[in-house]
Amino acid sequence: MRSLVLCLIAGIAPQAMSQTPHGDLSGLLDLRVGAGGGETSWLDGGFGKLGLGGEDDLDARIARGALVWRPHLTWSTDLYLQLEFDPEQDNPVGVGEAYLRFKPMPAGSLRYSLKVGAFYPPVSLENDGVAWSTSRTLTPSAINTWIGEEVKVGGLETSVTMPAGAGHLTATGAAFGYNDTAGTLLTFRGWAMHDHQINLGGEFPLPERTPAWWALRPRQAHVAEPFREIDGRVGYYAQLEWRPAAPFAASVLHYDNNGDGHSRDDFQTSWDTAFTNVSVIAQLGENTQLLAQAMLGETAWIPLANGPVAKVDDVGFRSAYILLDHAFGGQGLAARLEAFETTDENQPYSLNSTPENGWAVTASWRNHLTTNLIWMVEGVYVESNRDARSQVGVDPDQNQLQLQTALRVNF
Amino acid sequence: MIRRRFIPLFAALAMHASAWAADVRVEVRSPGGAPIANAVVTISGPATTTALPADGWVMEQKGLAFHPFVLVVPPGATVSFPNHDQTRHHVYSFSPAGPFELKLYGSGETRTVRFPKAGTIAIGCNIHDQMTAFIRVTDAPWAAVTDASGVATFHDVEAGDRSINVWHPYQKGAPDATLGRESMIPAAGSVTQTFLLSIRKPLDLHSAY
């Protein structure tokens, strides 16, 4: 994939540069100081739900750097290439999203667009900032954290927007691959809340478990590799979004990676994962916004294609959040409340290792110091119960508090 | 003595070149009393002059938005579209009153469009779907857009029977209809008119793209 991207850049650059005298570069730099209490973070091999955690986990670092190059190749075709720097990942430098977009001039009242490459499905309401960053909080909700870490697809997406009454209706459909392992982290670790996003070809750690537990899963590496094609089958998602003539929009999206549930490659498995996401955004006043999302899904794998039907892991997952945001005089306050749950659908063979439930509250303040410089302060409190913790000698009930402050440069 | 007394009177008449005129203040509010900005107020009727110049009109692109959101110009006006963003824009309209397309142009560049006939021109950007603005081309001799407090002020409107009309891009009902009222403009002083207008504002999505 990396070589493909490099070839794309090399092949397109001369033509693109000649047409873009002013360049089309944007990006961000996120400098952050934070502290997290409670159990060890999942990034360090624990079950901790947040990016920070464990004893005295005080941290000062460059949290993220991103550079987006968006040259126009023709009047109606552009390239989107997002380079990422995340020092917490094994490969700190990588490619976030990379796609070609064709967006012809509207034909009368209809607007079309088509994109080909690697991108996120249009699930998140929160990641509307530069380079798929969150603009209201530092930490996305559990739903959009999971999209960021495990639901990046490689494929083709097309959409059409049409008038509907005095508003608009947008229908989007995609056929994709490279997302066969989606569900691995949800099963092995559960939900989480952090702003680390998977790069193409990147990987995230799975929590440390007992040898007996791993013995049941001998062909699963101790890492998840979310951007992988394993079974050669095509997945899809379809979304309908309605924007009436009112300060309100609602959408529903269904995703199915159409994984066969058993193919394996290099200690990664093709999971059969499907979910439905409902999103609502409403302007409650001139400067007050309400965002809400709810997700319901299931992910599973079976040991053998033609073997016993018994699945080793069959996990139901659901989560919902509501976020209120209020802007005032160059500043903003956001508060989010969310709940999450995974269930063991593998009855009667439950190994009782995947169920969890929990809730979290997030409060964030931002101050636009200049047009390009934002100072943000955020607190996240999360409580959760997960039986699997007891298998490694940790109390199944845990709570965590994380405080962070960030200086974000958007350009 | 007599001469001295007449000097101030002549001076006053000279200063009020448009004699027999009054200031008109129009307030546009929602039925609930909230001020409505970006409403176009026009005052029509026989007039010897138009208050709107043909040139110097600007529709900026700044912060991935058009400024102003609503611009009112006379027929034949030339409007410039300077791009003050770092990214490029592709500005267009399909409105029958004045369709146009300004293909991709970058930061610091500008383009101009002439709008020969009256009507409403809805403007968009093909790169940034969230960018929207409206140009209302009117042959009314007096026209202005309400400010954040819902007020449009006109100076020296010629006295006589006039028709005051209000239009908003997000008004309920027919998109091109206007809310009108006949008003007698006095020969001096000022007059205030208040209009109640129902609008339905769509979601304003701010996107970084």
User: How many Å apart are CA A261 and CA A222, to the nearest integer?
Assistant: 18
Tell me, yes or no, if A399 comes closer than 8 A to chain B by beta carbon: no
Question: Do residue B107 and residue A22 have CB atoms under 8 angstroms apart?
Answer: yes
Percent of chain B with pLDDT over 90: 67
ipTM exceeds 0.90, yes or no: no
End-to-end Cα separation, chain A, in angstroms: 27
Over chain B, what is the mean pLDDT?
A: 87
Task: Please give the single-letter amino acid code of residue A173.
Answer: G
How much is the average pLDDT of A91-110?
A: 93
Counted across chains A and B, CB pairs separated by less than 8 A come out at 72
Mean pLDDT score across all residues of chain A: 89
**Which pLDDT tens digit goes with each residue over A113-163?**
999 999 999 999 999 999 999 999 999 999 999 999 999 999 999 999 999
Nearest-5° Cα angle at A282, A153 to B176:
105
Torsion of CA A14, A21, A1, A143, to 10 degrees: -170
Q: Contacts of residue A370 in chain B, CB cutoff 8 Å?
A: none
Compare B123 and A304 and report the one with higher pLDDT: B123
Q: Cis bond leading into A247, ω under 30°?
A: no
Residue the block writes with tokens 């001039």: A105
User: What are B122's two structure tokens?
Assistant: 């809805």
Which residue is closest to B122 within chain A, CA to CA? Answer: A109
Cβ contacts of A70 on chain B, cutoff 8 Å: 87
Residue listed under structure tokens 């490969």: A91
Query: Which residues, 6 or more positions from A102, have their beta carbon under 8 angstroms from its beta carbon?
Result: A76, A77, A113, A114, A115
Report whether A31 contacts A407 (CB < 8 A): yes
Distance CA A182, CA A116 (A): 20
Assess A150–B contact: CB distance below 8 Å, yes or no.
Answer: no
8 Å CB contact of A70 and B87: yes
Nearest CA in chain B to A248: B203
Q: What does the alpha-carbon distance between residue A103 and residue A76 come to, in Å, rounded to a whole number?
A: 5
A341 touches chain B (CB under 8 A): no
Element (H, E) at B13: helix B2-15
Q: Do B127 and A78 touch (CB under 8 A)?
A: yes
A103 touching B (Cβ < 8 Å): yes
A5-56 per-position pLDDT tens digit: 343 334 334 333 333 334 588 999 999 999 999 999 999 989 999 999 887 6
Nearest alpha carbon to residue A282 among A319, A311, A251: A251
B208/A128 Cβ within 8 A: yes
Interface test with B, best of A67, A78, A105, A291 (most B CBs within 10 A): A105
> For B50-72, how does the pLDDT look when each residue is reduced to its tens digit (9 = 90+)?
668 888 999 999 989 999 999 99
Which residues between 13 and 52 in chain B have a beta carbon less than 8 angstroms from any beta carbon of chain A? Answer: none
Which residues partner with A293 through β-bridges? A279, A321
Judged against a pLDDT cut of 60, whether residue B1 lies above it is answered with no
Q: How many CB atoms lie within 10 A of CB B19?
A: 14
User: Does A220 score more than 60 pLDDT?
Assistant: yes
pLDDT computed for residue B86 by the predictor: 85
Which candidate from A24, A103, A243 shows the least CB-CB separation from B202? A243
Shortest Cα–Cα distance, A26 to chain B (Å):
9
The mean per-residue pLDDT over the stretch B172-193 comes to 90
CA distance A304 to A10: 43
* Domain at B23-48+141-200, CATH from 3.40.228.10, 2.60.40.1120, 2.130.10.10, 3.40.190.80: 2.60.40.1120
Instruction: Say what the pLDDT of residue A307 is.
Output: 54
For residue B49, what pLDDT band results from cuts at 50, 70 and 90? low
**Annotation: CATH topology of A101-410:** Porin (2.40.160)
Q: Which residue has the higher pLDDT, A312 or A280?
A: A280
B68: preceding bond cis by omega (within 30 degrees) = yes
CB contact under 8 A, B206 and A70: no
- Domain segments of chain B as ranges: 23-48+141-200, 52-140
Looking at the partner chain, which of B104, B107, B129 has a beta carbon nearest the beta carbon of A75? B104
What integer pLDDT is reported at residue A304 of this predicted model?
63
Residue ranges with strand state E in B126-168: 132-137, 142-145, 151-158, 160-167
Secondary structure of chain A in the HEC alphabet? CHHHHHHHHHHHHHHHHHHCCCCCEEEEEEEEEEEECCCCEHHHCCCECECCCCCCEEEEEEEEEEEEECCEEECCEEEEEEEEECCCCCCCEEEEEEEEEECCCCECCEEEEEEEEEECCCCCCCCCCHHHCCCCCCCCCHHHHHHHHHCCEEEEEEEEEEEECCEEEEEEEEEEECCCCCCHHHHHCCCCECCCCCCCCCCEECCCCCHHHHHCCCCCCCEECCCCCCCCCCEEEEEEEEECCCCEEEEEEEEECCCCCCCEECCEECCEEEEEEEEEEEEEECCEEEEEEEEEEEEEECCCCCCCCCCCEEEEEEEEEEEEEEEECCEEEEEEEEEEEEEECCCCCCCCCCCEEEEEEEEEEEEECCCCEEEEEEEEEEEEEECHHHHCCCCCEEEEEEEEEEEEEEC
- Cβ-based burial of A195 (10 A; exposed 0-12, middle 13-18, buried ≥19): buried
Indicate which of A17, A20, A22 best probes the interface with B, i.e. most B CBs within 10 Å of its own CB: A22
CATH code of the domain made up of B52-140: 2.60.40.420
Picking from A309, A293, A290, the residue whose alpha carbon sits closest to that of residue A301 is A309
CB of A249 within 8 Å of a chain B CB? The answer is: yes
List Cβ neighbours of B51 (8 Å cut-off, separation of 6 or more).
Answer: B141, B142, B143, B154
pLDDT exceeds 70 at position A112? yes
On whether the CB atoms of residues A72 and A89 are closer than 8 A, the answer is no
Q: Report chain B's terminal Cα–Cα distance, integer Å.
A: 74
Q: Is the pLDDT of residue A372 over 60?
A: yes
For A50-78, what is the mean pLDDT? 89
Considering only alpha carbons, which residue of chain B is nearest residue A130? B208
Q: Between β-strands A25-36 and B132-137, what pairing exists: parallel, antiparallel or unpaired?
A: unpaired
Is B88 an interface residue toward A (CB < 8 Å)?
A: yes
Higher pLDDT, A351 or A86: A86
Lowest mean pLDDT among A56-60, A340-344, B7-11, B122-126: B7-11
The first and second tokens of residue B151, run together, are 């007020």
Nearest CA in chain B to A126: B207
Contact A143, A277 (CB under 8 A): yes
pLDDT at A332 over 90: yes
Measured CA to CA, the distance from residue B203 to residue A207 in angstroms comes to 42
- Work out the minimum CA distance from A271 to partner chain B, whole angstroms: 32
Torsion angle of C-alpha atoms A210, A211, A215, A219, degrees rounded to 10: 90
Q: Which residues of A touch B90 (CB under 8 A)?
A: 75, 105
Chosen from A19, A70, A72, A289 to mutate, greatest number of chain B CBs within 10 A: A72
